[in-house]
Structures are given as C-alpha cells and as structure tokens.
Structure 1
Amino acid sequence: MDEFNASKPIYLQLAERIHRQIISGELRAGEKLPSIRDMGIKYNVNPNTVQRTYSELEREGILETKRGQGTFVSERQDRLVQQRDKLKHEQIGQFVHVMREMGFSAAEILSGLEDYLNKVERGDE
C-alpha cells in the first residue's frame, strides 16, 4: 500500500499507516521510527510531509521526539490503547455508514457481520 489517495492529505494518510503499524504490533512501544529523511525516501514523499506527520502524531501523544536520538513510539500504554479504541470506532462508523446508505438495517448489518466472522473463523474466507 505505497500509493496515496489524492482526496486526502498525504500527511494524514501517512499518520494512519503509522497508527495501523502500532495497533498491529508491527511498531512497538518505545521503538524508534526511521528518520524524517529515511521515511520520506521510503514513501517517496517530501521530508516536510513526514515532519508534519510526526508532529501531528506527537501532538496526539502517539510519538515522542528525543533530542539527538530521534522519534519513538510512545511508551504510554494508555495513549496507545486510547488510540486503538479511537481507530476501531472510526472504522466501525465508516462501515455502518456505508451499510446504512445501502439500506441495510441494524439487524441485517449484525447478521451479515456475524456470518462473515463465522466464515473467517472456519477458514472459508
């Protein structure tokens, strides 16, 4: 997923990627992130974009910058858990919104989701 969507600012999309990496455990609490320059090269974006991303995530308490050492994933588990819950809520909200727009009731959404998850558990999906 190295492509960016033109309808949303790149720095926000990059922030979402970092959020997902933290939530999935790919990036762990206290882990050092690539330098701004290296992250820019990795994702083929301007270093100013990466700086804006890191600044936004630092403002949210997700990242911490240590002078002379670099940028790290926060070790504050409460902030990471809060962010995980926030992203879960946002994803569910988007899913429900789309399903409602297609005319599905709450019961139909729940039933469909249960069926889907049961299939995944059985390995059918």
Structure 2
Amino acid sequence: MNLPRRSPLMLQIATGDPRPINRQIVDGVKRLIASGELVVGAGLPSVRGLATQLAVNPNTVAKAYTELTTEGWLDARAGLGLFVATPRQRLSDTERERRLNEAVVRFVGDVISLGYPDQVLLDRVAAELTLIAPKHRG
C-alpha cells in the first residue's frame, strides 16, 4: 500500500521564545488545526521527519505528539502514523475556563509594558482571532 507523502508542517521554532520547544510545537499544531490549515484526517510528519525539519531532538517532537494525542487533537493509527482527530470537546468546562484565565493573565502581563492603549490591544486580538479561527467567531 502506498501512503501519501507527508508535507512539512508550517511550524517555526523561535529560540528567543520563553516556551520550551515541545510547547511551541504543541501550540503550533493546535493553531494549524484551529485555523483549518490542518484538516481532520490530515497526516502529520513522522517524529523523525518533523525533528529533522525543525532541527530539534526527536524526543522533543515525540513528547509534543504524545501530548497532542492525549488531549485528543491527534489520532495515532498503528503502522500508519498520526492524523488530525475529529473535533470534540477536549477539555472540561472548568479546565477550559482555567486555561483561558491563565492565558489572559499571561498575555496582559506580556503586553502591558508595551504601552499600547487598551483598544489597540483588543483590536489586534480580534484581528488575530478572525485570521486564525474564523469558524470559531460568533
């Protein structure tokens, strides 16, 4: 059986990013799925393939893929690889709320010292949401 060749993921690792590399991979894959760039059933590169593409340790990619699979973002198919999973509510309402609060507090802490007016920040967040996840906007 011929499997389709897997395209490289459009992920970038930033050395100046305070997040660990595996977190950057997890966040990047989630973003690609949320934006529709990775659709349900799309295959992901192998651990070794993505590690080579990003010039990182394969264990780092394996850790990220394990987290994405555990959270329900990816399905592992024995002998075939990893694929984007069918969407489902991956987290409880309480956990979603906790993570939202954590992200908002972190974001505000990161941008408050930049000195932008609140409306500029709100407009930028709204524009990013529209760009990244238009199907989630209400």
Give a deviation string over 1:20-62, Cα, whole Å, max 9, x none.
1111111111211011111111111111111101001111111
TM-fit CA distance, 1:93: 4.1
CA distance in 2, matches of 1:5, 1:24: 24
The residue aligned with 2:67 is 56
The counterpart of 1:28, out of the listed 39, 46, 58, is 39
The residue aligned with 1:94 is 106
Q: TM-score, normalised by structure 2?
A: 0.61
Q: Give the gaps of 5 or more residues in structure 1.
A: 119-125
CA distance in 1, matches of 2:123, 2:61: 40
Q: TM-score, normalised by structure 1?
A: 0.67
**Aligned partner of 2:107: which letter?**
F
Within 5 Å, give how 1:69-80 maps onto structure 2.
69-79=80-90
Query: What is the Cα-based RMSD across aligned positions, in Å?
Result: 3.3
Give a deviation string over 1:45-87, Cα, whole Å, max 9, x none.
111111101001111111111110101111134339x8xx77x
Give a deviation string over 1:81-119, Cα, whole Å, max 9, x none.
x8xx77x93654433344556788xxx62x44566669x
The residue aligned with 1:122 is none
**Which structure dedicates a bigger proportion of its chain to helix?**
1
Q: Give the gaps of 5 or more residues in structure 2.
A: 1-11, 128-138
- Identical columns (%): 35
Count of aligned pairs between the two proteins: 110
Structure with bigger gyration radius = 1
8 Å Cα contact 2:13/2:54 also seen in 1: yes
